[in-house]
Amino acid sequence: MKIERFRSPAKINLRLDVLNRRADGYHDLCMVNTLVSIFDDIECEITERGISVECENDKNVPNGENNIVYGVAKEILAYSNKNVGVNIRIRKNIPSAAGMGGGSSNAATVLAGLNDMLKINLSKDKLMKIGLRFGADVPFFIFGAPAIARGIGDHISKIKKMPKLPLVVVAPNIMVPTK
């Protein structure tokens, strides 16, 4: 069946202000986010049925139903009028639990990728709304440009002119889950 490969980018917060705690347990934030040139590689293969998610090179990333990508794939397949499934393979290059949005980026990439592959034609705004149910950073990755993100990350404003910034990413072997 049909196979497509996607690059799933990392992000950094150039500024992160944690504001008040909300009644839903989240915090209101104000962030300046930008994509960086570190990518996970994702392969999506349309199959006859079912959903499988496998990360081949990072034991910290769950496979199957415990991966955020599984839920996103299930959701977007429900919007399709096709009776198909998908096998998803993830090769991690973005450090896990490093605050670079790897899982959210993977979810956004699969959401947008399957939207295109299956010709569902949901708008970017609709994909951002779906993505928000899976993680606060997912809408930013669907937006796909330097932005100021407010609220829990769901109110996004484009930064019109972002300077190129050289940076070095250091990821010590210390996991800091964002939850």
Choosing from 74, 125, 129, 137, the catalytic residue is 137
The verdict on whether 11 is a catalytic residue reads yes
Terminus-to-terminus CA distance in the chain, angstroms? 37
Choosing from 11, 40, 92, 154, the catalytic residue is 11
The verdict on whether 41 is a catalytic residue reads no
The rounded distance, in Å, linking the Cα atoms of 149 and 16 is 9
What are the beta bridge partners of residue 156?
Answer: 149
Q: Which residue has the tokens 């605050």?
A: 99
Q: Residue 124's closest CA among 133, 115, 135?
A: 115
Sorted by sequence, the CB contacts under 8 Å of residue 143 that are 6+ apart come out as: 124, 128, 156, 158
The rounded distance, in Å, linking the Cα atoms of 155 and 128 is 10
The b/e string for 140-178 (b: 16+ C-beta within 10 A; e otherwise) is bbbbeebbebbbbbbebeeeeeeeeeeeeeeeeeeeeee
What are the beta bridge partners of residue 40?
Answer: 8
- Active site (catalytic) residues: 11, 137
